[in-house]
């Protein structure tokens, strides 16, 4: 199921119904406390066991387990793999095992965790106990690996749609990346967002740049000690800062529901990684944006990392992943369609919620310009990359051109009447249509692919989307928000947020654990005055009515009386 699709309910509800203990194996130590806080706020007796606890805390957890005072226990695979630990659970009347982020079982999962392999022992120690596995990013190959490793026998397999309808997918050309990131955040200044960068150094540089510009931002990467990472994530969860700048170490470790945007300042490693990371946005179901800044220089950077991998099979796998994410970034095809097809899901509609589908689709014939590019490629023996080919077509005077006598080619300077962006868009479209391809094993040089010769010799016409040659940022028509902003009582909404903040501080939990932004927006529209009306608001249950109802209802009533 996709992020926000209800996977937690699939083990929380059985965990409540079953007579004994439900054990949830999760790789996300940083997330466990949020999950337990959320469960406890719903009246579910939950706890976690991980390395962040003191010995006395751990002893207390075991006492509660022996006394049947815990219904759901979260534990990391590393802790479960400690010798004798799994066998010890036989003392606690375990009724159900749930493996979260189960794609980690597969070496084809984007975040392979070797300790997950130990989980195959669950079936040996608990031969008749139900086992369930959940993930948001399973291809058919990963699904097969999960079933085989956990020794599941003819399991019920559910593949919900991977379509996150609330997410707007967009790819923008990468130029001055720090300023581009800042410019985007500046227009969403009150929203929570994540910025992903490829390296720790880039994370630190980006955080410093944003901070100097007045943005409340914190870094998150594996180079920070655990206490710092926990502190920074906690500040983000509690809305003390609006922006986290992170490496993929932050990929899954966040349960914050009101993240309105995810920015990728660099090309992700794979489609799985991209889907998982963008999935942090819009968990409350409200419209959110996913912006990827793409530049061809990112391809070379990723290729460098791939070349450091010693194992040939692993290298091949990573090259395949790179090819797919590059195609996603360059092809003029609905972004949502490409994502869903990657996960073996058919999607044939215009999604009306990505940059491709929301930009007027006017096709322009560009056969002659394509021929100019293809001619430059063939006349240089298909031995050079994008920038050099553009230099030839535009007639650039540089040392590399002169050293190779490329200024004497018939195609030299044939396209000097148009700028670099135009020629880059022509090449990107040629790549997207598989007319040419980049040889990633040979310095990303351009080579002929399907129909290249047919276009070069005039047997086939070449068309480019008009929007490929302009900046899509000015052309995109964003979807309207889920809520009509005219219906929301903005003053009441702020009062409700203040109440939520005060409760969160007193309870020492993130605000979204109390109520999501979506729930508060509905309250600000519906203005409930009775318990029955309060229960009809999305995200309000009997437990939250009991614990928080009086405070929020009093706020609504006071606001209404003051407005009369």
CA 339 – CA 343 distance, rounded (Å): 7
42, 88, 437, 489, 536 from 529: Cα distances, Å: 22, 50, 63, 15, 11
CA 80 – CA 23 distance, rounded (Å): 10
C-beta separation of 294 from 329 below 8 A: yes
CA dihedral 468, 469, 474, 479 (to 10 degrees): -10
Three-state SS at 246:
strand
DSSP per residue, 34-69: HHHHHHHHTT--EEEESTTS-HHHHHHHHHHHHTT-
58: left (phi over 0), alpha (psi -120 to 50) or beta: alpha
CA 331 – CA 337 distance, rounded (Å): 11
C-beta separation of 79 from 50 below 8 A: yes
Structure tokens at 16: 């409540």
40, 47, 74, 94, 228 from 24: Cα distances, Å: 15, 10, 5, 11, 26
Stated as kind and residue range, the H or E segment containing 328 is helix 312-330
- E strands, 414-551, are 436-439, 445-448, 463-465
Q: Who's near 455: CB < 8 A, 6+ residues apart? A: 367, 370, 371, 374, 435, 461, 462
Burial of 168 (0-12, 13-18, 19+ CB in 10 A): buried
Q: Who's near 103: CB < 8 A, 6+ residues apart? A: 109, 110, 111, 135, 137, 138, 142, 146, 272
Q: Who's near 485: CB < 8 A, 6+ residues apart? A: none
11, 12, 106, 505, 525 from 159: Cα distances, Å: 16, 19, 17, 38, 35
What tens-digit pLDDT sequence spans the chain (564 residues)?
Answer: 877 778 889 999 999 999 899 999 987 776 788 788 888 888 889 999 887 788 899 899 999 999 989 999 999 888 888 878 888 888 899 999 999 888 888 765 555 567 788 888 999 999 999 999 998 877 888 899 899 999 998 899 998 888 999 999 999 988 889 999 999 999 999 899 999 998 899 999 999 999 999 999 999 988 888 788 888 888 998 889 999 999 876 655 567 889 999 999 999 988 988 998 898 899 888 999 999 999 877 887 787 788 888 878 778 888 888 888 988 888 778 899 999 988 888 887 789 999 988 876 567 889 999 999 999 999 999 999 988 999 999 999 888 899 999 999 999 999 998 888 789 888 878 887 778 988 866 777 899 987 899 999 999 999 886 655 444 333 333 333 445 666 788 899 999 999 999 999 988 888 988 998 889 998 998 888 888 788 888 888 888 888 898 899 999 988 888 875
Task: Determine the Cα angle at 192 with ends 190 and 197, to 5°.
Answer: 125
Q: Who's near 480: CB < 8 A, 6+ residues apart? A: 287
Q: Dihedrals φ, ψ of 476, to 5°?
A: -75, 130
Cβ of 321: how many Cβ atoms within 10 Å?
21
Burial of 547 (0-12, 13-18, 19+ CB in 10 A): middle
CA 493 – CA 517 distance, rounded (Å): 9
Q: What is the 3-state secondary structure (H, E, C) of 67-129?
A: CCCCCEEEECHHHHCCCCHHHHHHHHCEEEEEECCHHHHCCCCCCCCHHHHHHHHHHHHCCCC
Three-state SS at 150:
coil
Q: Write down all domains in the chain, each with its CATH number in brackets.
A: 7-149 (3.40.50.300), 167-342 (3.40.50.300), 363-474 (1.10.10.10), 485-563 (1.10.150.80)
CA 367 – CA 220 distance, rounded (Å): 47
78, 96, 114, 258 from 120: Cα distances, Å: 13, 15, 12, 36
Q: What is the pTM of this model?
A: 0.67
CA 237 – CA 34 distance, rounded (Å): 9
| DSSP for residue 468 | G
């Amino acid at each position: 199921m996709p992020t926000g699709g209800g996977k937690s309910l699939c083990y929380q509800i059985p965990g409540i119904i079953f007579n004994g203990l439900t054990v949830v194996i999760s790789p996300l130590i940083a997330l466990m406390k949020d999950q337990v806080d959320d469960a406890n706020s719903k009246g579910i007796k939950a706890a976690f066991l991980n390395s962040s606890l003191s010995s006395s805390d751990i002893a207390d957890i075991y006492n509660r387990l022996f006394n049947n005072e815990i219904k759901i226990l979260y534990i990391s695979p590393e802790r479960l793999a400690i010798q004798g630990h799994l066998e010890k659970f036989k003392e606690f009347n375990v009724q159900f095992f749930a493996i979260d982020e189960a794609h980690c079982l597969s070496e084809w999962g984007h975040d392979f965790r070797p300790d997950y392999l130990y989980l195959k022992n669950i079936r040996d120690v608990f031969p008749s106990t139900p086992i369930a596995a959940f993930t948001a990013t399973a291809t058919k190959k990963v699904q097969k690996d999960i079933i085989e490793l956990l020794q599941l026998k003819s399991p019920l397999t559910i593949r919900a749609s991977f379509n996150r309808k609330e997410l707007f997918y967009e790819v923008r050309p990468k130029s001055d990346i720090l300023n581009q990131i800042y410019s985007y955040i500046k227009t969403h200044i009150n929203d929570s967002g994540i910025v992903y960068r490829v390296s720790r150094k880039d994370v630190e540089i980006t955080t410093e740049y944003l901070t100097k510009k007045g943005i409340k931002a914190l870094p998150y990467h594996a180079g920070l000690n655990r206490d710092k990472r926990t502190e920074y994530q906690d500040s983000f969860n509690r809305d003390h800062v609006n922006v986290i700048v992170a490496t993929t170490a932050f990929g899954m470790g966040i349960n914050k529901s009101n993240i309105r945007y995810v920015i990728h300042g660099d090309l992700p490693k794979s489609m799985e990684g991209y889907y998982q990371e963008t999935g942090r946005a819009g968990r409350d179901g409200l419209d959110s944006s996913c912006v990827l800044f793409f530049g061809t220089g990112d391809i070379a950077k990723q290729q460098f990392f791939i070349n450091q991998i010693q194992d040939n099979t692993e290298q091949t796998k990573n090259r395949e992943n790179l090819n797919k994410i590059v195609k996603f970034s360059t092809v003029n095809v609905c972004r949502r369609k490409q994502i869903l097809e990657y996960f073996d899901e058919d999607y044939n509609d215009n999604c009306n919620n990505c940059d491709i589908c929301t930009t007027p689709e006017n096709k322009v014939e560009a056969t002659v310009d394509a021929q100019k590019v293809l001619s430059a490629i063939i006349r240089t023996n298909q031995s050079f990359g994008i920038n050099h080919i553009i230099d030839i077509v535009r007639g650039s005077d540089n040392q590399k051109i002169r050293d190779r006598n490329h200024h004497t080619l018939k195609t030299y300077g044939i396209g000097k009447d148009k700028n670099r962006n135009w020629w880059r868009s022509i090449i990107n479209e040629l790549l997207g249509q598989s007319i040419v391809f980049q040889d990633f094993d040979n310095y990303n040089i351009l080579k002929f692919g399907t129909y290249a010769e047919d276009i070069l010799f005039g047997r086939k016409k070449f068309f480019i989307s008009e929007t490929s040659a302009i900046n899509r940022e000015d052309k995109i028509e964003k979807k309207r928000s889920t809520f009509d902003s005219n219906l929301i009582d903005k003053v009441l909404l702020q009062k409700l947020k203040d109440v939520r903040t005060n409760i969160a501080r007193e309870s020492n939990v993130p605000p979204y654990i109390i109520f999501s932004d979506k729930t508060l927006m509905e309250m600000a529209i519906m203005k409930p005055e009775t318990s029955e009306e309060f229960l009809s608001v999305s995200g309000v249950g009997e437990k939250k009515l009991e614990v928080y109802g009086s405070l929020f209802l009093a706020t609504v009533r006071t606001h209404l009386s003051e407005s009369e």
